[in-house]
Amino acid sequence: MLAPAPYGATPSSAQLAWHAMALYGFVHFTVNTFTDREWGFGDEDPASFNPTALDARQWARVARSAGLTGLILTAKHHDGFCLWPSRYTTHSVKQAPWRQGKGDIVQDLYEACTEYGLKMGLYLSPWDRNHAAYGEPAYVDFYHHQWTELLERYPGVIFEIWCDGANGGDGYYGGARETRQIDRRTYYRFPTLIDTVRRLQPNAVIFSDAGPDVRWVGNESGVASNTCWHTINPEGMHVGEVDDLNRLGWGEPGGACWRPAEVDVSIRPGWFYHAQEQPRTVQQLLSIYLASIGNGCGLNLNLPPNRLGLIPDEDIRVLTEFRATLDSLFARDLALGQVVTASDTRGNDPAFAPGHLTDANPATYWATDDDIRMAEVIVEFAAPETLGFVWLEEFIALGQRIAAFSVEAAFDEQWLEIARGTTIGARKILPCAHVTTAKLRLRILSALACPVLSRLSVFAVGERR
């Protein structure tokens, strides 16, 4: 029996790798850390930048221990101060007292990520409140030169290029101290930049509110829409400008582009470290995890270093407990290796059997015949179990298909619904309200094409920390 044909837009190899990462981190760090600002004005004295104990290995070690798969560094924020010794400007670590002007945080992080098995991403703000030529064509050349300078240093290594939507306004601008506005649709020549990224970093995805590879979820609160299609239509979307933030959250079924959503949120109220702020609680991070990764999105969790150049101890304590909580909640998959039956199997071919849902192999999947849009699978446990979560995944290499489903538990020979949802996509994690049962049924209620699912995991109630 032939495998199902791909349905609609499908992910590239770089997008598939990004989906698999799920949880990764931001590192917001610059002169703002020392001036106690969120957005620097551009007139900050580089002499203020002196993180005397900076240790990128500590950042990577903390991230790895917390289960993060990569780190994205703000190599240049809106203030224009560069965390590497760029040959195109002096407004960088070259002018800072830190390491006598010989430091390079981008290189430090690359080496740390390599050591700890993390991927590295880069953020380079298009807005530069320091540069005298901002608003003129010469600045765009400068911006492209800096991206090229960074990307050529690490060929094929970068996993995500992060393009910010903040564009134009008041700034220092080389001493002009004025407000400058630009046409965000055309000024930065983003199509040319995208071509440069494709050439120098073919394994990278490009993030912005408009993609082209990963879209913004539309908020910075850590929450994705319960209905979240990985596909969307590109009309009305430009880097730095989107006509409808709600559309970013929902996506669009059968959309022309595979452009999944990223949830970006900070562990603290601000993106940069401020001594008066405290990190979120473990319960808050768990809620964010379920509302982002649990709705099929990538979670980009910001970990801002303090003025010493270290992830603060209080943040580390929260992250350690957060990791332990996740490990506890998802420790025992009751469905693993269990026999699963289905209402339909594609061509009755074992290659598409429902047992692939519980074999812990992401490369295998259950599929139905082409004309099927509604189907069900049943998994039985050896004994009654108290359920914590159900975890579902579509085989997204063939597209996103499922539009509605329900989960039911058997009670006294009757099926009672315990959860209901719309999209699944890369993953859907559903709390089960501590239901006790020996049998679970997943019903596909609506699909755009024949269902193709790769995972059905059922987790026992774990110890919440």
pLDDT digits (tens, 9 = 90+) for 184-201: 899 999 999 999 999 999
Per-residue HEC secondary structure of 118-175 comes to CEEEEEECCCCCCCCCCCCHHHHHHHHHHHHHHHHHCCCCEEEEECCCCCCEEECHHH
Cβ neighbours of 103 (radius 10 Å): 23
pLDDT at 464: 43
Q: Are 298 and 263 contacting, i.e. CB atoms less than 8 angstroms apart?
A: yes
User: Can you say how many angstroms the Cα of residue 119 is from the centroid of all Cα atoms in its chain?
Assistant: 13
Count of H-run helices and E-run strands, the chain: 9, 22
pLDDT above 90 covers a percentage of the chain that reads: 93
- The average pLDDT across 53-65 equals 98
pLDDT digits (tens, 9 = 90+) for 277-311: 999 999 999 999 999 999 999 999 999 999 999 99
- Burial string for 414-435 (b: 16+ CB within 10 Å, else e) reads ebeebbebbbbbbbbbbebeeb
pTM for this model (two decimals): 0.97
pLDDT at 462: 64
Please state, in angstroms and rounded to a whole number, the distance separating the CA atoms of residues 392 and 427.
Answer: 5
The one-letter amino acid code at 153 reads: R
pLDDT digits (tens, 9 = 90+) for 260-274: 999 999 999 999 999
For residue 411, the SS3 value is strand
Q: Are 327 and 298 contacting, i.e. CB atoms less than 8 angstroms apart?
A: no
Tell me the average pLDDT of the chain: 96
- The average pLDDT across 208-229 equals 96
pLDDT at 433: 82
pLDDT above 70 covers a percentage of the chain that reads: 99
pLDDT at 413: 86
Q: Which domains does the chain have, with CATH numbers?
A: 13-329 (3.20.20.80), 340-460 (2.60.120.260)
pLDDT digits (tens, 9 = 90+) for 347-361: 999 999 999 999 999
- The average pLDDT across 204-222 equals 96
Cβ neighbours of 436 (radius 10 Å): 12
Please state, in angstroms and rounded to a whole number, the distance separating the CA atoms of residues 207 and 188.
Answer: 15
pLDDT digits (tens, 9 = 90+) for 85-96: 999 999 999 999
